[in-house]
Chain A
Amino acid sequence: MGAGVAAVGRVPPKSTSVEGGPAGRVASRPRKLTEPRLVRWLLTGLALGFLGLFLLLPLTAVFVEALRNGFGPYLDSVREPDAVAALKLTLLAAAFAVPANLIFGVAAGWAIAKFRFPGRTLLTTLIDLPFAVSPVISGMVFVLLFGRQGLLGSWAADHDLRIVFAVPGIVLATIFVSFPFVAREVIPVMEAAGTQEEEAARVLGAGGFQTFFRVTLPNIKWGVLYGAILCNARAMGEFGAVSVVSGKIRGETNTLPLHVEILYNEYMFQAAFAVASLLTLLAVVTLIVKTILERKLHS
């Protein structure tokens, strides 16, 4: 159930960098320095077995279950109006969350990497807050803030704004949980780039905007794109926080992960897996784009 997407979202960005095939390197080393053949096979086998058991098997199971009754029922479950509405809402939430966090992430990264100011360390820590806090709690915070008795709830009610148990709440919760990805990708890239090129641009007569768009942004563009993709994966796969603020009104405030859960709880296994396969496909597309970008980033 949506596990594919959620897993992509939670992978810490740096741990995914490939270190140039360790197996190949071992083989070219002098004999004395490598492990005995038996140990090597055992460890490789263990790793592959683990990978198959925990990643490939569930992924295949999603599609096998989804297509259990054949292609016709699969298409019916996917085309069903509530499923389509859930897909639309998921894409809508991501369409708000990604641009918002893109702007925020680049701005925060820029401030943190290029300037020294009081509270800089605090800001760096705060950016990671959505990673540290359980998504359910993130959702609760929004309910507490914007709910009937909440701090901003009465204000919202006065202005006839429905936030919790409505689309705005889902968008807010999604923005919150997918908030660190861009900033975390951009900060190291910006720090590595330093400030010299910006200084050079200024001395050559460039203004603030010209410096940003002609010098700063091109230097970090792959980092920004990579962050946006991770952010998107998390935004589409988010379950916990959205589940709390959504209210799960079918066809209205149900996102794809929530819809999968509802179907599953109603023993509609085939439909649940069919909808889950949509999420999985989104995750696979995200992974492919990510891999392409990663190659660009490291070359």
Chain B
Amino acid sequence: MSLLPALAPFLLAAASSAEPRLDPLSATATREQVLVSFHLAGAFSEKLTERIQSGLATSFVYRFELLRDRKHWWDDHIATSTFEVTTMYNAISHEYLVNYKLDGRLVESRLARSRGELEAAMTTFERLPVFSVADRSPGTRVLVRARAELGSRTLLSIIPVHVATPWATSKKFRVPREAE
């Protein structure tokens, strides 16, 4: 009949593996903070690796939006947060310096001594506190949207375009009450 239905899974798989994406994105809330866990897949291309190895400062910018869930209507935007991860390779010491900034403020620096360690340091985060919900009403149903911006590339050699993942959305969760 046609090759397309047969090739569809492979094409989708190839496309999904080639395009960077945030997967999975999960979010929970304590009484004071919203903690997000996510993994950025497909970000480390050969070109990006070469760029990092050349010693250029390379950043991933994660943008988070905290939304209040509303039924039968668009969700209400509550807050925005930016988490920037920048790395720079030291060819003398063979170390990767990784800096973490939350909303422009440096929150952590670490050294990675291997490619794998660097990838994990830049793409995998567990329970990262990105929003404060201390002033939010307990029991409010919220959710988190996130995307990663990976810099830019050029089309037709001269047209710059942003490279970013699609927006990923966490499951809805409630701001915990005092007793919880």
A and B are partners in one complex rather than unrelated chains: no
